[in-house]
Amino acid sequence: MVSSEAVPFAKTGGLADMVSALSLALAKKGHEIRIVIPRYYAINKDELKLKTLEGPMGVPMGGGEEWCKVYEGTLSGSSKKNPIRVYFVDHENFFGRDGIYGVPSEPDFLDNPRRFTFFCRSVFQLCRKIDWYPDVLHSHDWPCALVPVFLKFGERQGVFSKTVSVLTIHNLGYQGIYDRGNFYATGLNWDTFYSAGFEDWNMMNLLKAGICSADVVNTVSKNYAEETKTQAYGFRLDSTLRSRGTDYRGILNGIDSKIWNPEKDPNIPVPYSVKNMEGKAKAKEVLQQEFGLPPSPDTPVIGLISRLTFQKGVGELFGPTYGSAYAICRDMNLHFVVLGTGEAWCENEIRSLAGKLSNFRAKIGYDEKFSHLIEAGSDFFIMPSRYEPSGLNQMYSLAYGTIPIVRKTGGLADTVENFDQDTGSGTGFMFDDLTPQAIYNTVGWAVWAYYNRKPQIEAMRQRGMKKNFSWEKSAGEYLLMYEETIKKVHG
């Protein structure tokens, strides 16, 4: 498993959770999994009691060899019998600094193409160093997209002759596009710039090269896989993805049921389950208290936890003058609570709404513990995403008996089923168009059902809580994909 992030060592988003959770689920099925990530400055090798592998490691690059060190640790949660080893590639010049991809003053480090080219190349040297050669090299997103390229264009011989490559795309919006002058760092010849698919309007596109070169490519839900093959969602790579045919697929992320389980959650006041929902009512009471809202068990609470960025549809919700949140809170008898950080305009707008509306409350910041209380204490959870590769919050919501209100896109469309008020079926409220009006109308519909269709709402909650979004299921699909790919490549 080759990644730029893995919990608990380095995290900026869902990728970090997925890499560790999938590794654990695969190991549980008896497979030998090893993870390799860069050793960022913030990873404290003494605190983590990391072992130093003997001797320096040379990594061939364009312009000369780079030398580094490697540390080894184990992933917590893996069993003693089949421990997941984690390798940390340590290169002072590339990773001995704050930030994973950048820092606020320089969000995308200028030397990122060289940093991650080095990292991808180092993986092959690491295998030689530890004399361990995997059947599958599974890499993630643009920072690790060169692993399949190096395998296909040079390494697939000798000790790697039986290895296949898998590339998972977690968000097509980030591709690693750089000046083509950076290509020389790969040490590959210029023919490969075209044949491996690096070329992108005279620039170098790392993710595109990975998509073209990997033995199989996937993204994190079936529906997002389909959407990304269209111009509207393809971020200019739709035709590249289409060209991979059945070698491009979707596998839904799972959720960690040890952390996100209302029956065992230490972050909520009283645990609850389908059989006894009293704890949910208590969570609602505490949530209203925490936000300084009047205690009111009969008022529907709508929660939102999100990165406040364009991708999440926050413009349509909070945009000054046109966003629908103001009208929703003005016109409807509900409580609206928000937890998030992100774009400055949006944070300011949210603060200003909280000043204008007595039923709208927000906490600007990142707060893991509080996010559990919002999931448990809300009646509805809103996600008006512009695009959503998998989405985790709607799955957490379902598990906590909180009804999602979502745009019908990506993983949201794969995990939520729209309410049918004639039959009472469904697990959430959905809309197609990303417009302030559609959000307003759908929230209105949900609030109407809350007041007028109580039994149907209760049945929906229960249906959601019984859904199975375990990693075990998704890991099974990954295994199937690995096996099919090995068969396809090596017969």
- Interface with ligand ADP (CB under 6 A): 13-14, 305-307, 339-341, 366-368, 371, 390-393
Q: Which is nearer to ligand ADP, 176 or 340 (CB)?
A: 340
Sign of CA dihedral 400, 404, 408, 410: negative
**Shorter beta-carbon distance to ligand ADP: residue 186 or 223:** 223
Residue 156 C-beta: closest distance to ligand ADP, Å: 33
Question: Rounded to whole angstroms, how far apart are CA atoms 193 and 325?
Answer: 48
- Minimum CB separation from ligand ADP for residue 311, in Å? 7
Q: Determine which helix (DSSP H) or strand (DSSP E) holds 483, and give its type and residue range.
A: helix 471-490
Closest contact distance (angstroms) between CB of 458 and ligand ADP is 25
Closest to 209 in 3D by CA, of 222, 195, 220: 195
Q: Which residue is nearest to ligand ADP (CB)?
A: 14
Q: In this structure, what DSSP letter does residue 2 have?
A: B
Nearer to ligand ADP, 136 or 301 (CB): 301
**Closest to 376 (Cα-Cα) out of 301, 299, 482:** 301
- Give the other-Cβ count within 10 Å of 86's Cβ: 25
Euclidean distance between CA atoms 311 and 173, whole angstroms? 9
Number of DSSP helices (H) and strands (E) in the chain, helices first:
18, 18
Burial of 470 (0-12, 13-18, 19+ CB in 10 A): middle
Residue closer to ligand ADP, measured from CB, 241 or 308: 308
Least Å distance, CB 341 to ligand ADP, is: 5
Least separation in angstroms between residue 342's CB and ligand ADP is 8
**Which residues are bridge partners to 167 per DSSP?**
139, 217
Cβ proximity to ligand ADP: between 14 and 428 the closer is 14
Between 117 and 306, name the residue whose CB sits nearer to ligand ADP. 306
Closest CB 337 distance from ligand ADP, rounded Å: 12
**In whole angstroms, how close is the CB of 365 to ligand ADP at the nearest point?**
6
Nearer to ligand ADP, 209 or 382 (CB): 382
449 versus 475: smaller Cβ distance to ligand ADP: 475
CB of 367 to ligand ADP, least distance (A): 5
Among residues 18 and 50, whose Cβ is nearest to ligand ADP? 18
Task: In angstroms, give the least distance from the CB of 416 to ligand ADP.
Answer: 13
8 Å CB contact between 185 and 110: no
Question: Residues near 241 by Cβ (< 8 Å), separated by ≥ 6?
Answer: 211, 217, 228, 229, 234, 248
Q: How far apart are CA 18 and CA 7, in angstroms?
A: 9
User: Around 122, how many Cα atoms within 13 Å sit in the side-chain half-sphere?
Assistant: 30
DSSP 425-478: --SBEEESS-SHHHHHHHHHHHHHHHHH-HHHHHHHHHHHHT---BHHHHHHHH
